[in-house]
């Protein structure tokens, strides 16, 4: 039993469910979106601003924090909670996705991943055991097992090999755990093959984790295919454990995944779009550098309750973005995060009121 943690399902409507994750650093109402704080910060936004728009839990990147400033430094400064000033729950990924993205700088084998650091050129190794040790040093409330993510377009043999390696790594990671005050999630793989994903899920559950993640999705597959894969796996995952769809990002994709029983999400899309002057709104995407907004005195989104929409006009936001004023990127990111966080607040309410399907049908 992991100390100080629990997950309670509070309401269900079809496969969609509203719940609550309890951690030693606070609770998370689900379904929930986790803003991405790669280096321990959501770029340009402080803890008070994030809490003010409804953030409950943040995600940090294990690989990047291991490289800079180093997990020993983070631990010495109080773990992620003390180091960053965000006192609420944290989730850290395993770092595997970032290491695999290094391409020819990376070598993969059953032991782990050996790679050349882009920072200083030194050779480093990430193993299932070291990924656990780093995340325990970082002190996140929820840590992730190291996995191998096969390409969605890959063939069945490639997907099976990656899935079987992920399972071997998962068993090793589970044995390496030392902290009793940290939840640990296993990751289901299997590419675009439903039967392989079901097999992966059953084996991962057999190892035993506190929660389970859908890995390798949101990488180019069709939305209908993704929905089918989520549904296939959720049929065999234990209903009493949280479910996390890693990296799924567009608002309509989040809603579709909630409909299949997913509880947690993360994606860089809202803040990345914000930095590039693209806003999410009830009218669709707004490219704020467009000349049509120059003299527009309306709020960015009249139906949004964020502080940006309460105070600023489209014309002002365009001016900031056009001039490269850092406030423009900050305000756009803050608005986009509120759009995402409010979307899942509305999903939770719709589930509790047994009107989720009706509500979801109105989301563009």
pLDDT at residue 31, as a whole number: 98
Per-residue pLDDT, 1? 55
Q: Residue 149 has what pLDDT?
A: 87
User: What residues pair up with 30 in beta bridges, in sequence order?
Assistant: 19
- Provide the CATH topology of domain 6-267: TIM Barrel (3.20.20)
Q: How do 142-144 and 90-92 pair as beta strands?
A: parallel
Query: What's the rounded Cα separation, in Å, for the pair 64 and 97?
Result: 11
What's the CA gap between 260 and 254, in Å, rounded? 10
Q: 279: which residues sit within 8 A by CB, 6+ positions away? A: 273, 285, 286, 288, 300, 301, 317, 332, 335, 336, 339
Cβ distance 47 to 90 under 8 Å? no
Per-residue confidence of the chain (364 residues) as pLDDT tens digits?
578 999 999 999 999 999 999 999 999 999 999 999 999 999 999 999 999 999 999 999 999 999 999 999 999 999 999 999 999 999 999 877 676 676 777 888 999 988 888 778 888 889 999 999 999 999 999 999 999 988 777 799 999 999 999 999 999 999 999 999 999 999 999 999 999 999 999 999 999 999 999 999 998 899 999 999 999 999 999 999 999 999 998 999 999 999 999 999 999 999 999 999 999 999 999 999 999 999 999 999 999 999 999 999 999 999 999 999 999 999 999 999 999 999 999 999 999 999 999 999 988 6
Q: Quick one: which H or E segment has residue 60?
A: strand 58-60
Binning the chain into helix, strand and coil, the percentages to the nearest 5 are 45, 20, 40
The residues that are catalytic are 93, 266
pLDDT on residue 113: 87
Domain with CATH 3.20.20.105 in the chain: 6-267
Q: Residue 255: which region, alpha, beta or left (left: phi > 0; alpha: psi -120 to 50)?
A: alpha
Task: Collect all residues with Cβ–Cβ distance below 8 Å to 29 and sequence separation of at least 6.
Answer: 18, 19, 20, 56, 348
What values do phi and psi take at 64, rounded to 5?
Answer: -65, -40
């Amino acid at each position: 039993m992991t100390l100080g943690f629990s997950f309670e399902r509070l309401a269900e409507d079809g496969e969609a469910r509203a719940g609550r994750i309890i951690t030693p650093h606070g609770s998370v109402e689900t379904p929930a979106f986790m803003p991405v704080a790669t280096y321990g910060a959501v770029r340009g936004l402080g803890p008070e601003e994030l809490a003010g728009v409804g953030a409950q839990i943040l995600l940090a990147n294990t690989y990047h924090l291991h490289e800079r400033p180093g997990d020993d430094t983070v631990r010495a400064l109080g773990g992620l909670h003390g180091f960053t000033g965000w006192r609420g729950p944290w989730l850290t990924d395993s770092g595997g996705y970032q290491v695999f993205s290094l391409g020819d700088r990376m070598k993969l084998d059953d032991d782990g991943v050996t790679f050349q650091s882009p920072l200083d050129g030194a050779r480093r190794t990430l193993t299932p055991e070291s990924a656990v040790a780093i995340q325990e040093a970082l002190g996140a409330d929820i840590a992730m097992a190291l996995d191998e993510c096969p390409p969605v377009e890959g063939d069945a043999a490639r997907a099976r090999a990656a899935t079987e390696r992920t399972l071997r790594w998962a068993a090793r990671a589970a044995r390496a755990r030392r902290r009793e005050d940290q939840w640990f999630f296993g990751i289901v793989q299997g590419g675009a093959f439903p039967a392989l994903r079901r097999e992966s899920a059953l084996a991962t559950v057999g190892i035993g984790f506190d929660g389970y993640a859908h890995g390798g999705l949101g990488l180019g597959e069709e939305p209908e295919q993704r929905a089918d894969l989520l549904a296939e796996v959720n049929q065999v995952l234990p209903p009493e454990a949280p479910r996390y769809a890693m990296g799924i990002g567009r608002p309509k994709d989040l809603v579709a995944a909630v409909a299949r029983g997913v509880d947690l999400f993360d994606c860089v899309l809202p803040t990345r779009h914000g930095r590039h002057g693209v806003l999410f709104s009830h009218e669709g995407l707004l490219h704020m550098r467009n000349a049509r907004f120059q003299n527009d005195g309306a709020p960015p989104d009249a139906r949004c309750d964020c502080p940006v929409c309460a105070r600023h006009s489209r014309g002002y936001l365009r001016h900031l973005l056009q001039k490269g004023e850092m406030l423009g990127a900050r305000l756009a990111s803050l608005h986009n995060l509120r759009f995402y966080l409010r979307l899942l607040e509305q999903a939770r309410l719709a589930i509790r009121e047994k009107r989720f399907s009706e509500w979801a049908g109105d989301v563009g």
